[in-house]
A and B are shown apart, each in its own frame.
Chain A
Amino acid sequence: MREEHGNVAPVMIAKGEDPGDVRTDVPYQLMTILSNLYPWMSDGKKIAVLTRRCDEKALAEIFKRGYFDRARIVQIGLACSKEQIAACRCSDPVPSTVDIGEPHAGVGSDALSEKLMNMSSEERLRFWIYQFRKCNKCFACTANCPVCFCDECVLEERTFVPERGVPPGMSFHLIRAYHLADKCIECGECERSCPAGIPLLTFRKLVAKDFRDMYKFSPGDDKNVSPLLTTLEGEALEGDECNEC
């Protein structure tokens, strides 16, 4: 990112070009921006990209699916500021190699998540219905998501999201939550870019926790295959024997 027109802009600069007034304090989702560009960058040249810890994980999910050629990507590790870590309620903020910035420890928990899980389910539902009613179907959450890979999103179709116009209703958010269950790397971009101020990162964190507890799996490691894509391999399951034969 660099300073331009009194704003901070994402930039891609060629080798030797003057980077200008570089800024690293504005959390642009560079992996998403790069994903849009990548198909057009057929020249095979290497691409260096500023990489926070969450971006590292996003890259892992991208590599896993073969969207980027691993060999072309050079990661410049960026340690997030205390403020940013707090804003993301991030527990895992330090990239594998820190090239820029001071590494800071992560924060343990997301206050809202805890508050929600201590509510009765009625209260919790009331909370989310209010939040989702504000949804204006801008698709910022999918458009800016580094691990949303479809050009044509099913949430744009009428098949599973029956509500006309806005707000799109509950299924929109439930289905998206499911789609992200095994790949969300908790970068928080959905929440940052949501005009309605829906605490989407909290929603992601709630599901991520359940997913970890169930399958001991956290997205962002390109060696691990999502449990949703594997067989049981003898994992014990309730009622997995026919009780009568």
Chain B
Amino acid sequence: MPRIGVFICHCGHNIASTVSVEEVAKFAATLPGVVIADHNLYSCSEEGLNSIRKSIEQNKLDRVVVAACTPRTHEPLFRSVCEQAGVNKYLFEFVNIREHCSWIHAKEPSSATEKAKRLVAMGVSKAALLEPQTEGESNVIPAALVIGGGLAGLRATASLAAQGIETHLIEKEPRLGGLLNDITTLAPYSESADTLLQELVDEVRGSKRAHIHLNSKLRGLTGFVGNFKATLDEAGKKKEIEIGAIIVATGANELQPEGEYGYGSVPGVVTQLEFERTLKRGEKPGDTVFIQCVGSRQPGREYCSRICCNTSLKNALKVLEAGGTATIIHRDIMSYGTVWEEMYRKASEKGVRFIRYTLNDIPHVRSHASGTAVDVFDETLGERIHLDANRVVLATPLISQKDSAEVGKLLKVPRDKHGFFLEAHVKLRPVEFATDGVFICGTARWPSSVRETLSQALGAAAKAAIPIKRGKVVIESITAWADPDKCAACGNCVASCPYEAIEILEQDGKRVAKVNETQCKGCGTCVAACPNDAMQQRGFTTRQLSAMIDSLVKHALEESP
């Protein structure tokens, strides 16, 4: 009989405000094999972890079940506590009663509590059958791949190369720099964008560890953390490189608001980026009207692009310096933080005119004898006003790259509904993907300022360097194995394995399936293909999962009131 300990987490109010944690703990104590059932305010806090560790030692536990949040973020933490207390980390089972219970049943505390009990019972029944595992290690190819040669990619590449890591930078365009190429100065301190770019490019070009591939796209990717094989298309030529880690820095694009606010029809109507180019060419802006949130913060594209307000403020000040007038028509000015707010104040002092509009009465842009005219209903004055302008600048949001879907598929990493990539966890794993060895930075994630982009790039580079510097990665022991006594060598597993990791071999006069554990990625496809249960996956054996079903039947059907 195993000795199971169950620890229910309040997660402050996140769980406890809906699920009666005490009741669940009391119930858990009655489950077969459970020798202690406890609850903590925050299991993942130092205090919580200590009490679990102590309990494991005091009660001589050999199985640990924590009912809290999601294994996708916290499993490693609790597993390490088990190891510290001398319990093999694979004898730990995580039950998710927050994302999968308290948070989604906020209005039904009693049935949420009942469900939490059943989930815990299922977890305990699986835990009772868990087996200790030993993990394999594999070497790490001491090289990295950075996808995207814009600001983020350059910064990451420079940083990796500076750490002595062979780094391949691929850029689909013929030149490096991405959007930065079009920008004049960088708010708020008006450094020249060119200077920043040049410094970065020089640093990258100067490093013998950095290898730049222009006109290049990622075409294929196989392998796993430490051992990726990437296929590139470099200016039409196929090229294979092997790397240990990958950074996605594919950046973003500016929305072209075709047909909106006179864009494309009315002369003098430009996007922010086009406006930057004119300034770069030294053209005089003249009287300029900025319209904010064009194509963003509206149904279909709800998000705030975060950089547009500040950019407009920066450029409005430039307009004044150049002797023109500047009007910013906005829905809300989002100049968050210290320096930007400062710039906002400066702008209004210097005479930039701010007019607030709403979505139910948007500014109207038309051509006019003297150039361009904007009619807008001023919320604060409560009256419709007419503005003449030489230029109308449409502040459109950054949108995800057209090919981000393609990249996502190749790397098997998720994207959000707007096509921006999704990191593993906003707070806990900000620049990582759920897939080990793949990282994310810059505007490929979401619109971010130059500053944020640079720090993300440095973060991603630092993270990517970890496995490479360690030189080894542990492979989680969820691989498959075939029981030779049962195996009938029917070959179903061989045919279904996506990794060709299984073969039929002669073993003491009997043909049996054999899994190559270094090739096995632990998907379990073979397990489902096996007709007689010879094929098993570590940590997900058919007995473990069947036990969960039995326990659900027991607690939901047989013993339900």
Contact = CB atoms under 8 A, between A and B. Distances in A.
Chains A and B form a bound pair: yes
B415 to A, nearest CB: 5
Interface in A137-159: 149-154, 157, 159
B415 A245 contact: yes
A66 B532 contact: no
Contact of B529 (A65, A151, A157, A228): A228
A153 B490 CA distance: 13
Contact of A229 (B485, B529, B546): B529
Interface in A54-103: 65-66
Given A66-B491, A150-B488, A245 B416 contact: yes
Nearest to B543: A159
Contact of A157 (B489, B490, B533): B533
A159 B488 contact: no
A152 B543 contact: no
A244 interface: yes
B511 to A, nearest CB: 8
B401 interface: no
Nearest to A231: B498
Contact of A159 (B408, B415, B531, B533): B533
A219 to B, nearest CB: 13
B488 A149 contact: yes
B196 to A, nearest CB: 32
A190 B480 CA distance: 33
B416 A65 contact: no
A162 interface: yes
Contacts of A65: 489-491
Contacts of B178: none
Contacts of B532: 150, 152-154
Interface size class of A (residues with CB under 8 A): 20 to 34
B543 A150 contact: no
A245 B531 contact: no
B385 interface: no
B542 interface: yes
Interface in B449-504: 485-486, 488-492, 495-496, 504
A96 to B, nearest CB: 25
Nearest to A178: B531
Contacts of A149: 488, 490, 531
A149 B491 CA distance: 11
A127 interface: no
Interface string A202-233: 00000000000000000000000110111000
B542 A152 contact: no
A116 to B, nearest CB: 26
Contact of B417 (A151, A157, A229, A245): A245
B531 A150 contact: yes
A225 B533 CA distance: 21
B419 A179 contact: no
Interface in A146-187: 149-154, 157, 159-160, 162, 179
A31 to B, nearest CB: 16
A154 B492 contact: no
A32 to B, nearest CB: 14
18 contacts: A66-B491, A149-B490, A149-B531, A150-B488, A150-B490, A150-B532, A152-B485, A152-B532, A157-B533, A159-B546, A160-B546, A162-B550, A226-B495, A228-B492, A229-B529, A230-B495, A245-B408, A245-B416
The 3 closest A-B pairs by CB, nearest first: A229-B495, A150-B532, A150-B488
Interface of B: 405, 408, 415-417, 419, 485-486, 488-492, 495-496, 504, 511, 529, 531-534, 542-543, 546, 550
Given A157-B533, A159-B543, A226-B495, 20 more contacts: A149-B490, A149-B531, A150-B490, A150-B531, A150-B532, A152-B485, A152-B486, A152-B488, A152-B534, A154-B531, A154-B532, A159-B542, A225-B495, A228-B492, A228-B529, A229-B495, A244-B417, A245-B405, A245-B417, A245-B419
